[in-house]
Amino acid sequence: MFIAHDLLVIRHTSGRVAVMYLGVVVEKGIADEIFANLVHPYIEIIWSAIPVPDPTLCGKHNCIITVVDLPSLLHPAKGCLFVTLCPLAEQSCKN
């Protein structure tokens, strides 16, 4: 088992991946498949925040910025734990 916050390292060193948010697995599977097809909005957001090493592209890549209420770890949401940060959240996500 390898635990890290650096998605580029994970992508290149791991065969299978489990992505967690607040201690809950939000997506798991084969690393190449997960990173080729970002499904969960949390993974899209953290993937978009990876710095671009090419200075000519600095500030030109699509970093997703969210302005939201941070979730409470003491009183988590009843539905999806990511609901307060998710740009795709619907009413059904809150139940």
State residue 75's pLDDT score. Answer: 75
State residue 30's pLDDT score. Answer: 93
Give CA–CA dist 68/51, Å, rounded: 22
H runs (alpha helix) in 14-56: 31-36, 41-48
Instruction: Give me the mean pLDDT over the 3-25 stretch.
Output: 87
Closest CA relative to residue 64, chosen from 81, 78, 43, 83: 43
Residue, of 54 and 86, whose pLDDT is higher: 86
Residue, of 93 and 54, whose pLDDT is higher: 93
Residue 8, SS3 per DSSP: helix
State residue 15's pLDDT score. Answer: 92
State residue 11's pLDDT score. Answer: 86
State residue 85's pLDDT score. Answer: 75
At 35, phi and psi to the nearest 5? -80, -20
Where in the chain are the domains? 7-68
Closest CA relative to residue 46, chosen from 74, 16, 26, 72: 26
Q: How confident is the model at residue 69 (pLDDT cuts 50, 70, 90)?
A: low
Handedness of CA 14, 36, 65, 81 (dihedral sign): negative
